[in-house]
Amino acid sequence: GRVVDPRGTTEEAQVEAALRPRRLADFPGQPRVREQLGLVLEAARRRGAPPDHVLLSGPPGLGKTTLAMIIAGELEQPIRITSGPAIQHAGDLAAVLSSLVEGEVLFLDEIHRMSRPAEEMLYLAMEDFRVDVIVGKGPGATAIPLELPPFTVVGATTRAGLLPAPLRDRFGFTGHLDFYATEDLVAILTRNAALLGIDADAHGIRQIASRSRGTPRIANRLLRRVRDWAQVHGSGHLDEGAARAALELFDVDELGLDRLDRAVLEALCTRFGGGPVGLSTLAVAVGEEPDTVETVAEPYLVREGYMIRTPRGRAASAAAWDHLGLTPPKDAVG
């Protein structure tokens, strides 16, 4: 478990649930998505009908689940939560769909990981509010159409491009979540420190916010680790000194990069001459799964301009060479 992994753990789920803002107005950051979504929801409320299906895309830990729950809250509707990997068979989805009540919000996390037959059933359900229940087997099998009450699907995916076009087209609105500005993370952390009863000052909060890789989930986790440090080694007061000491202990540098990020950049520069190099080769070089490198390290390295994605693989930028204190060869890509 890396402290800067944007994916949540099961142990974290409870504390995360307690910290989720419940209303759109209490959700800091993502001004564009907030305004777009606010409009979609308000219009639906005035029409007295469920809104279009909503797709939320963006890296893990940026608030997709939180927004899904806010959507249900704003619509004053119940929410059913499941995920692509949990739906192995079309029958699993049929069971969920046929038990929805009118207006209910169905949150499908990691919707790009649903099986193909389930996906096809979902198209039909989203478009016509109908599922075909297959009765019997083989040549004698018949499809019995089952009408569904109108409901709203909120899908979440780390990349909208991973969804097959027919499924993507069923969503009337797609919100793209981007990494948060430090100021927004300061707002989130200030609120959460108060909720958790942590005695924190503005400098301590800012230190955490600026090293949280633009990700609220990481910010919340670092807040808890710095609180631990302040309680064990300090006076309990979370200040800049406590934040610096704790983050050094957990290997998070001034830029929010940790050991894996630095290992990736170092491998790119010293072993592959700055690249380009394929993802799986790079992953082997740092002893990690390709998926971990791609979802945990890469998005932030790319966004901060340390890594470049090229058609032939990953390459180091001038900033990466600079950060490592190395001189790039003359023919380096970045």
Contact 104, 116 (CB under 8 A): no
Instruction: Retrieve residue 280's tokens.
Output: 């799986």
**175 lies in the site for ligand ADP, by CB under 6 A:** no
Q: Is 29 in the site for ligand ADP (CB under 6 A)?
A: yes
Q: Is 84 in the site for ligand ADP (CB under 6 A)?
A: no
Any catalytic annotation for residue 215? no
Choice among 217, 221, 227, 314 that is catalytic: 217
DSSP-based three-state secondary structure for 185: helix
Rule CB under 6 A: is residue 214 a binding residue for ligand ADP?
no
Residue 156 or 277 having the CB closest to ligand ADP: 156
In contact, 286 and 293? CB cutoff 8 Å: yes
Within 8 A by CB and 6+ apart from 327, the residues are 321
Active-site residue flag, 322:
no
Q: Which residues contact 50 (CB under 8 A, 6 or more apart)?
A: 44, 75, 77, 103, 150, 151, 152
Q: Which of residues 67 and 100 has its CB atom nearest to ligand ADP in the complex?
A: 67
For position 168 contacting ligand ADP by CB under 6 A, the verdict is: no
Is 66 designated active site? no
* Burial class of 120 by CB neighbour count within 10 A (0 to 12, 13 to 18, 19+): middle
**Using rule CB under 6 A, residue 299 touches ligand ADP:** no
Write out the binding residues for ligand ADP, residues 128-167 only, by CB under 6 A: 156
Is 224 an interacting residue with respect to ligand ADP (CB under 6 A)? no
Residue 21 interacting with ligand ADP (CB under 6 A): yes
Tokens describing residue 141:
């099998």
Minimal distance in Å, beta carbon 223 to ligand ADP? 11
User: Cα separations (Å) of 261 from 179, 185, 243?
Assistant: 17, 21, 20
Closest to ligand ADP by CB, 64 vs 262, is 64
CB of residue 326 to ligand ADP, shortest distance in Å = 34
Return the structure tokens found at 215.
């990700």
Q: Near ligand ADP by CB under 6 A, which window of 56-64, 140-148, 248-256, 285-293? A: 56-64
- Known catalytic residues are 64-65, 109, 158, 217
